[in-house]
Amino acid sequence: MSKYQSLDDAILARVKNRWPLAPMTHALIMATSQVRDLAEAAVAGTSRPAFRAVDARLQALRKKGLIEYSNALGWRLRRPYCAIADHALAAAKGEQK
C-alpha cells in the first residue's frame, strides 16, 4: 500500500458521492474534513501546502484512468472504471471497520 492510498480512497469516495447537478471542484474535495486531514498528514514535516497534495493525487488518479475532469461537471468517476473505483472504496471501508 502506498503512503497516499488512504488519501486516494478518500478522494474517490468524495468524487463518487457528488451531488448530481453540482460540479465537483477541487475546493469541494478539500472541504471534506477527511480529505483535508489526510492531505495535511501526507505533507506533515514539509513546506508543501495540503491542497497541493490533493491536486497531485487528483492528477495521479486521472492518469490511472479512475477519474476524469470536465469543465461542466468537474471531477467524476470514469464510467468504464467505476467497478474498479467501487472495489477500491469497498476495500477502504473494510479497513476502517
> Which pLDDT value is given to residue 67?
92
pLDDT recorded at residue 8 = 93
Distance (Å) of CA 57 to CA 20, 21, 27, 97: 23, 24, 14, 24
pTM: 0.77
Has residue 97 got a pLDDT over 50? no
Distance CA 9, CA 35 (A): 9
Pick the CATH number of 5-96 from 1.10.10, 3.40.720, 2.60.40, 1.10.3470: 1.10.10
List pLDDT tens digits, range 10-57. Answer: 999 888 887 766 788 888 888 889 999 999 999 999 999 999 999 999
Domain locations along the chain: 5-96
Q: Say how far apart CA 38 and CA 40 lie, in whole Å.
A: 5
